[in-house]
Amino acid sequence: MDWEQIESRLCWVESWSVFGIDRLRIVVIEYQHILGLISDPHGDAARTRSAIELLKAKGATAFIFLGDAETESVLDQFTGLKTWVVFGNTDEVGPLGDHARLLGLQVVHPLGTLQINGKSVAFTHGHLDQCVADAFASGADYLLHGHTHRRRDDRIGNTRVINPGALNRASHFHAAILDVFSDELLSMEIV
């Protein structure tokens, strides 16, 4: 394991003194988040739950919700899961944001950014052009979005642009897993 891999997994350092002898312990946990990507359920809590269960079964350890929940019951499906949330053009941001925070979800609307394994991950619903432009201007390694209800995986310059697809209002319903560490994307149909 090289230093970058170690650094990406480092969580905290503990130090203490026993009988005047300084002790140091580096506490390391796996920080290789496998991201479950979900977008556009438009009120379908049951399909959202199915998507979450499938993504977890395939290894997702954290989730990014890319908007258009429309109902609290959709957000309820993420209770107890490490989840970052942005809202879409059909969401009432104030009430849904308050509800998401009560559930312990990380609301980062309208544009979120994460640093995972030395990579910059930007995410937004996709309906606000300025957020998309800001993500590209930041030099993000990844830009995740929803809104179009169409799966996407391509590169614009150095940025990989991913849309996992939609859980509603589409001919086929999809969600995805992104492993930032290996740069692998797995798209899955949700039935």
Structural domains in the chain, sorted by start:
1-31 (no CATH), 32-189 (3.60.21.10)
Does pLDDT of 22 surpass 60?
Answer: no
Cα separation of 144 and 124, whole Å?
7
- CB contact at 8 A, 83 and 63: yes
- Least confident stretch, 15-19, 50-54, 172-176: 15-19
pLDDT at position 24 is 45
pLDDT at position 71 is 98
Q: What is the mean pLDDT of residues 162-176?
A: 97
Percent of the chain at pLDDT above 70?
Answer: 83
Per-residue pLDDT band at 21 (split at 50, 70, 90):
low
Does pLDDT of 13 surpass 60?
Answer: no
Cis before 110 (ω within 30): yes
Non-local (6+) Cβ contacts of 153 within 8 A are: 160, 161, 162, 163, 185, 187
State phi, psi for 102 to the nearest 5 degrees.
-60, -30
pLDDT at position 32 is 59
pTM value is: 0.84
Q: In this predicted model, what pLDDT tens digit does every residue of 53-100 receive, in sequence order? A: 999 999 999 999 999 999 999 999 999 999 999 999 999 999 999 999
